[in-house]
Each structure stands twice: as structure tokens, then as C-alpha cells.
Structure 1
Amino acid sequence: MQVWMSWSGGKDGALALATARATPGTTVAGLQTTVVAGEVSASWVPRAFVEAQAAALGLPLETVELPWPCPNDVYEQRTGAAWAELRRRGASEVVYGDLFLADVRAYRERALAGTGLAASFPLWGRPTAPLATEMLDRGVRAVVVCVDPARVPATIVGRTWDAELIAELPADVDPCGENGEFHTLVTDGPGFAHPVPVRVTGTAERDGFVTAVLGT
């Protein structure tokens, strides 16, 4: 079975990808990322970093180019065309790294309805505290690149996502940031041939979020 990974460059996706690649009978054919004005949507990570991740993982990267602002009908048209192309090439599933947000899962399943592609969620429903520990134990290394400062301190931008940082998070914050509290960029982990160099040179405010300014 051929599958593609919906990829934003974060830690949850990295473990979901490793899980899919280890599934007997499953071939991960590549990564698919939505890009807005040269940056990954939702985290504002420059395209070059997900390209470097794909190279380290030995997988092709395909991008869905979106305008900003992006009306929902344009988003659905362009992602739909991208999925149709994957299906034409023989894909049967799109793998997602979502953990527990039912509305997000339902949206993804609705979006794929009628495309011939199924949505797969290999990490779904797993308690996030032990899941975070498993990620770290399996060698997932990531940097916090975007935070919602209303929910977590902006000072964690640029820090390594590790046990020390997780222990410092407010009690109501998910250790994996699944509620949108923060986003990460993976620099190493299962399947990586080598680490991806990432250097945080500063921070910036974007639409109410605090993001990392990245270099190599």
C-alpha cells in the first residue's frame, strides 16, 4: 500500500511517519506540505527547512502552493488537485500526525471523501504525556518555532523541546502542544540520515503568535 505523509515538519508528524514506515506492507512515497509565500502554513517555517528534512529522510517533498490570504474555496481546490495527483500515482492513504482533536480529524476525513484516498492517524488517541516521552526516547529532536503567547511563555521560542521544557509548561498545556499552544520543527529522529541544522537568530510576532527567526 502506497501512502503519503501530510507534513508540517513537527515532532508528531515525525513519529507518525516513523510508525507508517515501520508498518508491514506500507510504503511511504513522500511528504506533502502546504506552503504560503515560501513558508509552511501554521508555523511560518521557511520552505528550505522542510526541504532539508525531506532530504535527510530520503523522501520526495511535494508542496501545495497557497496564496495569502487564502479563501477556503481556493484551499480546497488546490489541495484537492494535489490529492487527485497522488491518487493517480497509486496512493491509497494520507497519513496525519493528529493526536486527539476530533474536529480536526473530521475535517480531514471530509476533505478526502470522494478522492479515493483514506485518512490514517497512527498516533490517534494515545495519551500525550507518555507519547512525548516515547518521542524523546526514540530520538526525536525538535525546536519550538511558534507559540501562542496567551497560552505559553514566549520565552520558549527557540528552545529545544525536551523533558526539561515539558516539565516547565503550565499544567493546562498539552505536552505535545496539540491544542495549538506551540509548534515545533524536527531536527533529527527516526529515519533521519543526519540532523538538520537549525539556528534560531531571533523572534518575530506574526498574527498574534511569536515565531522563531531561523537560519542554518
Structure 2
Amino acid sequence: MALPRSEDGLVLMWSGGKDAMLALDVLHSQSPRRVGALLTTVTADEERVTMHGTPLSLVERQADALNVPLHVMRVPPQPPNEVYEARLEAALTPLLENGFSTVVAGDLFLDDVRAYREALIESVGATALFPLWGRDTTWLAQRFSTRGYRAVVTAVDTTQLDSSFVGRTYDDSFLEDLPDAVDPCGEKGAFHTFVSDGPPFAASVPVAETGRDTTGRIHTVRLRATGEEA
């Protein structure tokens, strides 16, 4: 099926987590431009969002609730840079051919991550946009809460944060319990989230826990939509 034509459209790199949602929120509140496509990266073996561990089926429900088309990029587990870069070019090319010109990312303050992403996006002929860049992360965490978003912590890097934080709701209590060394938005990879509700959602995506993966450095919670069979 042919992709819809977009004039100067925005593609948002979409993990399903709070930073991607905040990028959409801040952009839509401060600019007339609108996100016309979401691009999610999942591992080809498990169909789960890389790093976050969220099943693709939940991200599809998010996209439906946001009424934004979802495009999926599949990669092997822990792909080398050249594989990731080739897959990203293949995923972005048809979007660029249909008028999308800007790729939005929710990066916050890590210069090396931004530099790599910016160079990669520009190499395929697109412009990179970072609407959250340099903003105070405490303010962003508070905005997420006061705007009425809801999220669950899907993954924790146990070298930075105790595994007891995985599966918790991302709320004021969670933020109060974070060690001082951990950024409230988890920008250094201490934790990742899945957003289940918020102002742009036509319907919430309530989730239930079906188990946990606690082997290795990254501990994750396995989620399914409430009402689905485990």
C-alpha cells in the first residue's frame, strides 16, 4: 500500500516511552508542525522495542490511540552500528520519498548520542530535530506528570538503579525514590518506560504484568494489554 504523501512532514523516533511522548507533547504545544509518522525499532526475534522491552503489540495500540501511522524497523539483538545504520536508511527512505523531511528524536543532553544520531539522519538526506534538547530534566519529569500522562517502568539498568524500580509507575513517588545520581528522565539509560495514557490518546492502553526477565544487567518487565490472554 502506498504511503500517504506528507508536505515537510515530521517522523518521530518512537520507543513508546516518556521521552518520545514528551518530544511529541512539547513539539505540538510550541510549533504548528505535526508528527505524521512514528518509527519504532524492535528486535526481530522477540518483536520487542530495543532497550525498553515493550512488545510491539502495545506500541501498535499507542499509535492507534494517537492516530499516527506506525512504521517498524526490525534489527537483530544488539546489532553492530553498520547493521543499524543500513536498516534505518531502508526504513526512512520511503518516508523521505513521500515528503517527510525531518526526523525528531527525544534526546536530552548526551552530546555523543546527539552527534551520532544527527550525522546518521543527515546522511540519508533528512534534517534532525531535538525538541527536548537542553531542557531541564526535572522540569520535563514534572511536565509529564502534570500533563496527566501515565507510564510504567519497563526496564532498569541494574548497574545504575536497583531492580526493585522495574515495573513501578513513573510518578512523583518513583521520582522521590530515585537516587540523586540518577537523572529523573533516565537519560543515561538507568531506566525506560511505556506510556499508557495521556492527553493526546483517544483511548488509554492499560497494561498488566505477565512476568520479569532478571538475567543479566538489564532487568525488564513483560507486559500485555489488559484483557489480552497472557
> TM class by shorter-chain length?
over 0.9
Residue 206 and residue 73 in structure 1: after superposition, are their counterparts in 2 closer, same or farther (change >3 A)?
farther
Correspondence 1:1-216 to 2 at 5 A? 1-36=8-43, 37=45, 38-216=47-225
- The residue type paired with residue 31 of structure 1 is L
**1:112 Cα deviation from its structure 2 partner:** 1.3
| Cα-to-partner distance string for 1:75-106 (whole Å, 9 max, x where unaligned) | 11111111221110101111111111111100
- The residue type paired with residue 181 of structure 2 is D
Residue 24 and residue 151 in structure 1: after superposition, are their counterparts in 2 closer, same or farther (change >3 A)?
closer
> Is there any run of 5+ residues in structure 1 with no aligned partner, and where?
none
| Cα-to-partner distance string for 1:25-47 (whole Å, 9 max, x where unaligned) | 41311100111121111112111
Alpha-carbon distance between aligned partners in 1 of 2:29 and 2:216, rounded to the nearest angstrom:
38
The answer to whether the 8 A contact 2:122-2:128 is kept is: no
Question: Which secondary structure does the structure 1 equivalent of 2:125 belong to?
Answer: coil
**1:207 Cα deviation from its structure 2 partner:** 4.1
Q: How many residues of Structure 1 are paired with residues of Structure 2 in the alignment?
A: 216
Alpha-carbon distance between aligned partners in 2 of 1:206 and 1:74, rounded to the nearest angstrom:
26
The answer to whether the 8 A contact 1:43-1:183 is kept is: yes
The answer to whether the 8 A contact 1:5-1:28 is kept is: yes
- The residue type paired with residue 155 of structure 1 is S
**1:5 Cα deviation from its structure 2 partner:** 0.6
| TM-score, normalising length: structure 2 | 0.89
The answer to whether the 8 A contact 1:14-1:189 is kept is: no
**1:8 Cα deviation from its structure 2 partner:** 0.4
The answer to whether the 8 A contact 1:15-1:190 is kept is: no
Question: Which secondary structure does the structure 2 equivalent of 1:39 belong to?
Answer: coil
Question: Which secondary structure does the structure 2 equivalent of 1:179 belong to?
Answer: coil
**1:134 Cα deviation from its structure 2 partner:** 1.0
| TM-score, normalising length: structure 1 | 0.95
- The residue type paired with residue 34 of structure 2 is T
Question: What is the aligned-residue RMSD (CA, Å)?
Answer: 1.4
The answer to whether the 8 A contact 2:55-2:224 is kept is: no
